Amino acid sequence: MGNCCTGSAKCANASTPFESKVTSRSTASNNSNSTTTANKLASRRSIGSSSALSGQIAGSDVQVQAASAGTGAGAGLKSFSMSELRAATKNFGSTSYLGEGGFGCVYKGWIDEATLAPTRPGVGRMVAIKKLKEESFQGHREWLAEVTYLGQLHHANLVTLVGYCSDSGANKLLVYEYVLRGSLENHLFRRATQPLSWPMRVSIAIDVARGLAFLHSRDDSPVIFRDLKSSNVLLDSDYRAKLSDFGLARNGPTGDKSHVSTRVVGTRGYAAPEYIVTGHLSTKSDVYSFGVVLLELMTGRRAVDDARGGSAATLVDWAYPQLGDRRKVIRIMDTRLGGQYPKKQAQEVAALALRCLQNDPKNRPAMADAVLPELEQLQQHNSHKSSSYTSSTPAPVHGQPGRRHSKSKS
């Protein structure tokens, strides 16, 4: 990802394969079938993976060059040497350390704005450098995916990849723009942080929707992000959201195909039920994950919190029964908001989340044609009115948590 906050366990790529116990909202019979199928998928995940990856892992710098020649991927990226990145991070010292995740450790570094050469701390441009663990076999595939996709995809709501390093040894690194305010996950769930206001949460949802709409609407082939979650949404200095961690992204279906079939990977609590059960992946899989992130923004609760126990442990199972009843939506709203949100707007966002979370992917709205326009219209409608919050609060001011948009009324 573009950067991470100190101490976060999900600073780097924390995506994990699904466990067979993960189920969707369905009948007991369907749950049993889902578990059986998921078990079969889990048992197949590692079969043949060694031979499939052997060509990727050997000489991945050559693969980056080949991708660049064929698709433009990596054409604008700098190939850093290991010595350059050591200089940029003070030899990956403790003062440069930002955090660690499944992919490896993340460090902050400094490079020259123009030449991208390493500089001393405080001079030039700060970057986030993600270093692959040497023992991480799956990480090689994800490293290459990041270079391939972020080398050719450029959008205001996607994190910027500056360059990469792939030396003759086992060193594999990625160099990103430094995204100042860290992950949405930290802002929603760390109690020491100032709560994001409702207008800011809506703005973040719109930014995420714009990023996904861009990926899904590519003319040659849609890109499925496949690992949307709050820890993979980064916030810049103006609290503008950017999608990060493209290690699990892949090309979507083309022509008259409705899906692609692939191994089941991702993060528990965010993935679409049909993907968990069958391995069928489509842009509508991302829409489901977006619905989960919408719920996190509304409720301030994690997608999965085993400490809560029972149905309350999974956010979708806990919130879903309330989403269809406009009178009950207030029951699931984040108490840290202090009631400071337009009730009607919250109900509209809940209704949209409900549609995104439908079990049948055919019933979920498309990101570019429905989700994004609806959110933008909702924001625009409320920006032309003064707020009807349930208590009086100073109007949000741009550039601070919860202060990005003018105060609005439903």
Residue 71 in this model has a pLDDT that exceeds 90: no
Decide if 361 is inside a domain. Answer: yes
Look at 206 and 1; give whichever has higher pLDDT.
Answer: 206
CATH code of the domain in which 239 resides:
1.10.510.10
Decide if 258 is inside a domain. Answer: yes
Domain count, the chain: 2
Give the chain's mean pLDDT: 80
Pairing of the two strands 233-235 and 241-243: antiparallel
For the segment 333-360, the average pLDDT, to the nearest whole number, is: 96
> How far apart are the C-alpha atoms of 341 and 42, rounded to whole Å?
43
Q: What b/e sequence results for 38-52 when a residue is b if at least 16 CB atoms lie within 10 Å of its CB, and e otherwise?
A: beebbeeeeeeeeee
172 has binding-site annotation:
no
* Cβ count within 10 A of residue 399: 10
Decide if 390 is inside a domain. Answer: no
Shared-domain flag, residues 120 and 197? no
Residue 149 in this model has a pLDDT that exceeds 90: yes
Residue 319 token pair: 């919130």
| Residue 75: per-residue pLDDT | 60
Q: Which residues does 193 contact at the CB level (< 8 Å), separation at least 6?
A: 186, 187, 401
How far apart, in Å, are the Cα atoms of 40 and each of 36, 53, 265? 6, 21, 14
> The domain containing residue 326 runs over which residues?
184-383
| Residue 382: per-residue pLDDT | 74
Which one-letter amino acid corresponds to residue 282?
S
The string of pLDDT tens digits covering residues 78-101 is: 999 999 999 999 999 999 999 887
For the segment 175-204, the average pLDDT, to the nearest whole number, is: 95
For the segment 337-363, the average pLDDT, to the nearest whole number, is: 96
> How far apart are the C-alpha atoms of 201 and 401, rounded to whole Å?
10
Decide if 66 is inside a domain. Answer: yes
CA angle 142, 159, 203 (to 5 degrees): 125
For the segment 43-62, the average pLDDT, to the nearest whole number, is: 35
Shared-domain flag, residues 216 and 277? yes
Confidence of residue 138 (pLDDT cuts 50, 70, 90): low
Single out the catalytic residue among 207, 227, 245, 286: 227
Strand positions, DSSP E, 259-404: 260-261, 265-266, 280-281
Shared-domain flag, residues 108 and 167? yes
Q: Is 227 a catalytic residue?
A: yes
Residue 316 in this model has a pLDDT that exceeds 70: yes
How far apart, in Å, are the Cα atoms of 397 and each of 157, 190, 197, 324? 21, 22, 11, 33
Shared-domain flag, residues 158 and 211? no
Confidence of residue 47 (pLDDT cuts 50, 70, 90): very low
> How far apart are the C-alpha atoms of 379 and 202, rounded to whole Å?
7
| Residue 30: per-residue pLDDT | 44
For CA atoms 212, 214, 215, 216, give the dihedral sign: positive
| Residue 43: per-residue pLDDT | 35
> What is the chain's Cα-based Rg?
21
DSSP-based three-state secondary structure for 126: strand
End-to-end CA distance of the chain: 36
Look at 200 and 16; give whichever has higher pLDDT.
Answer: 200
Shared-domain flag, residues 94 and 192? no
Confidence of residue 55 (pLDDT cuts 50, 70, 90): very low
Decide if 407 is inside a domain. Answer: no
Confidence of residue 398 (pLDDT cuts 50, 70, 90): very low
Shared-domain flag, residues 233 and 140? no
